[in-house]
Amino acid sequence: MENMQAVNNFVAAYLKKKGFKEAERLLEDLQNKDSAPIDFHNDPELAKFIHRFSQSEDDVARYQDGYSKLRSWTYSSLDLYKHELLRVLYPVFIHSFMDMVAKGHLQEARTFFNTFREDHELMHSRDLQKLEGVLSQSHLEEMEFARSLRQSKVNIKICQYSYDLLLQYLHKTQSTAMLGVINEHINFQVSSGQPSSLSDDAEVVTLIGSFQDAANQINQKEIHWGLLEDSLEERMEKAGSLLSDSEKTEEENKEGDVDETKKRSVESGKQGASTKKLKKEKGLNATAKSARTEASTTPAAPRVKSKLPLPLMSTEVEQSILEDLRNRVQLSSVLLPSVSFYTFLNTHNGLNCSSISQDGSLVAGGFSDSSLKVWDMAKMGQQGGSSILQAENDSTSSEHVVGQNGGKRSYTLFQGHSGPVHSATFSPLGDFILSSSADTTIRLWSTKLNANLVCYKGHNYPVWDVQFSPAGHYFASASHDRTARIWSMDRIQPLRIMAGHLSDVDCVQWHANCNYIATGSSDKTVRLWDVQNGECIRIFIGHRSMILSLAMSPDGRYMASGDEDGMIMMWDISSGRCITPLMGHTSCVWTLAFSCEGSLLASGSADCAVKLWDVTTSAKVPRNEEKSGNTIRLRLLKTLATKSTPVYSLQFSRRNLLFAAGALSKNM
């Protein structure tokens, strides 16, 4: 009884000293209401309360000593469980640091941070750079990143045995400081069975708490992901269904002709060569049929109305596009695309970005010297050049530049920016090109007039990315000022400003129906925005590093995002859930592109490779596997490696030819 009274007096004195008046009053009310002794040993909540406020002034030593011992124990654990236990270290490290700062031990917190930061530099370098700026208690409240961390919990998947091992260690060593941090900031999802594989690490650590709750609430908003009504594709589909019967009769007639040819060839004694030819034709027919079968099994996308007034299309352009659609190759897992790769030479590490027009006839490069250069492939072909682009560092505006081998290299030089050009994008018809720069501006250029038409000003910091909408006329930009903006070609001010990311917006992409845009950020999230009201309607959480590339499937159902670590994630837009992660790249994924019918995904990376992934089979997640939490891996169909050329951009033409571009790197 005396011990209990002493504890109560101690707690009351501590509360009074720290100015917790309401807690002190509640404690007095509790004592007056019930004079019976309080058994804090059998009351875990009260025990936690007493423990939290009974720590003496050696808090700092407890954090440093506790984390050091936990780290040593984790690294010395069995290999089978080590990778699961290592997941705990990073959240414990950052929250221990922030707790020390919050309690006013700034010098000790800085020493602690510098001592152990190297352990987490590889996976969390950008987060650590931000936390390095936390130098006072006020910074914890002012910095959005630190505030979001302290208000959220980290959700970690772990097997039952690893969880038991961790609890046993914490109780055995009486690591109360570490136990407090883990209890307050980590939520364990304990699963039975064997530990998760090392390759699943990207999926097992996610944020929960206020940020995740807000994301879940946002992800409940309604979204219409279908294609636009009365689009050219829809007209082609209707025409295709009307002509399907006549096509069948044509195919039957062709097969009859082939059989007759075969008989004649046997009679004339030329059986060997004809049989080989027939087998080849049959193989091609079978491949084409299987491609058509795969395409036909995917359900048709719903039709939606446009929220933006879209520009009218001329009859000539419409006929040209319809011709391309008629001649489109139906790609599949057995029928892969042809690839044309454009290599930039002699860039002297000055090339920041590249872009390829829809038909592959024009290739643009944005350079650190603030210039934008556009190559016409037709002119290069006339001059006997190959798909090698030379970019000499000169200031001439001439279209004919002599390369090192003495041959003429044709390009058009666009000058106007006053800072490095970070992004370039062609309009759908290739008659305009947009460029964004570190000078905070976006410029519109005419590829017909070879002149600058408009300079758009609105961002306050460098503009990292700019993308034309699929219909043209409208475009979206992403900036270091943590906003994305929607513009139209005929207005110099933005139509909408999308604000909500906690860090740089690094990339932007339009939805197929032009009603939404997606943005990828250094805060490791992807957001989907409604262009009509500028409201965020989806938040996609799961990446472990900054998002560098985005791509939308042609039917608008799926989205792919690539990050700095080489991870690609496929998302279901309607639910906001990750369907599957794509693992294969070993460096930054700079570009992504879906094939025109959506059956393949191409990814280009700094690891000097283009990878082709099968989307049709991987996107179909069985209900039972979806509920059990098992993820379906996208099937890697092919890896196309370059000798020493990181892949900057990818573009599928309307006929499903894949174009790629990159700069030859001598350092690779």
User: If you average pLDDT over residues 53-81, what whole number do you get?
Assistant: 78
In Å, the largest CA–CA distance within the chain is: 116
Inter-residue contact 336 to 637 (CB < 8 Å): yes
pLDDT at 221 over 90: no
> CB–CB of 559/568 below 8 Å?
no
- Secondary-structure percent of the chain, ordered helix, strand, coil, rounded to 5: 35, 30, 35
- Of 560, 610, 615, the C-alpha closest to 585 is 610
| pLDDT at residue 354 greater than cutoff 90 | yes
> With contact defined as beta carbons under 8 Å apart, do 504 and 484 qualify?
no
Distance, CA of 519 to CA of 509 (rounded, Å): 7
Cα–Cα distance, 342 to 44 (Å, whole number): 66
Q: What span, in angstroms and rounded, lies between the C-alpha atoms of 154 and 150?
A: 10
Instruction: List, as one string, the DSSP characters of 380-394.
Output: HHHTT--SEEE----
Q: Would you state the structure tokens that stand for residue 166, as one six-digit string? A: 């961790």
Query: Residue 187's beta-bridge partner residues?
Result: 155
Q: 426, 381 in Cβ contact below 8 A?
A: no
Does residue 208 or residue 309 have the better pLDDT?
A: 309
- Residue 617 contacts residue 297 (beta carbons within 8 Å): no
Where helices occur in 332-470 by DSSP H, the ranges are 377-382
What CA–CA distance (Å, rounded) separates 4 from 40? 9
Q: How far apart are CA 67 and CA 409, in angstroms?
A: 61
Question: Higher-confidence residue: 576 or 508?
Answer: 508
d(CA 290, CA 284): 10
Contact predicate 592/548, CB 8 Å: no
- Residue 201: count of CB within 10 angstroms of its CB: 16
Q: Is the Cβ–Cβ distance between 359 and 596 less than 8 Å?
A: no
Please check the confidence at residue 395 and state whether its pLDDT lies above 60. no
What is the C-alpha to C-alpha distance for residues 126 and 186, in angstroms, rounded to an integer?
A: 21
Q: 242 pLDDT exceeds 80?
A: no
Phi, psi of 365 (to 5 degrees): -135, 135
Residue type, 147: R
pLDDT digits (tens, 9 = 90+) for 223-236: 887 777 766 666 66
C-alpha–C-alpha distance, residues 230 and 232, integer Å:
7
CA distances from 529 to 132, 223, 542, 545, 559 (A): 31, 10, 18, 21, 13
Compute the CA torsion angle 573, 358, 588, 603 (nearest 10 deg): 70
CB 468 within 8 Å of CB 475:
yes
Q: Any bridge partners for residue 651, and if so which?
A: 659
18: Cβ contacts below 8 Å, ≥ 6 apart:
none
What span, in angstroms and rounded, lies between the C-alpha atoms of 298 and 640? 27
pLDDT of residue 50 exceeding 70: no
Q: Which residue has the higher pLDDT, 31 or 348?
A: 348
pTM greater than 0.75 (yes/no): no
Residue 633 to residue 296: CA distance in whole angstroms: 23
Average pLDDT over residues 242-250: 43
User: Angle CA(364)–CA(488)–CA(422) in degrees, nearest 5?
Assistant: 35
Distances (CA, A) of 446 to 288, 309, 356, 434, 563: 39, 23, 15, 9, 32
* Distance between CA atoms of residues 503 and 521, nearest Å: 6
Nearest to 342 by CA among 370, 365, 319: 365
- Summary mean pLDDT of the chain: 78
Q: Residue 617 has what pLDDT?
A: 65
Are the C-beta atoms of residues 560 and 568 closer than 8 Å to each other? yes
- For residue 54, CA distances in Å to 14, 59, 198 come to 8, 10, 40
Asked whether 573 and 556 are in contact (CB, 8 A), the reply is yes
User: How far apart are alpha carbons 66 and 173 in whole angstroms?
Assistant: 9
- Distance from C-alpha of 650 to C-alpha of 374, rounded to nearest angstrom: 16
Categorize the per-residue pLDDT at 310 as very low, low, confident or very high, splitting at 50, 70 and 90: confident
pLDDT band, residue 375 (cuts 50/70/90): very high
Which is nearest to 658 in space by CA: 636, 640, 633?
Answer: 640
Q: What is the pLDDT of residues 639-662, one digit of tens each?
A: 999 989 999 999 999 899 999 999
Distance from C-alpha of 477 to C-alpha of 511, rounded to nearest angstrom: 14
Give, in degrees to the nearest 5, the angle at Cα 522 between 521 and 526.
Answer: 30
Q: Minimum mean pLDDT among 226-235, 320-329, 469-478, 497-506: which range?
A: 226-235
> CA 348 → CA 344, 352, 419, 422, 665, distances in Å?
10, 11, 17, 16, 9
Give residue 153's pLDDT band: very low, low, confident or very high (50, 70, 90): confident
218 phi, psi to nearest 5 deg: -65, -40
Taking 50 as the threshold, does the pLDDT of residue 561 lie above it?
yes
Q: Are 74 and 88 in contact (CB under 8 A)?
A: yes
Please, are residues 60 and 27 in contact by the beta-carbon 8 Å criterion? Answer: no
CA distance 113 to 134: 11
DSSP structural state of residue 118: G
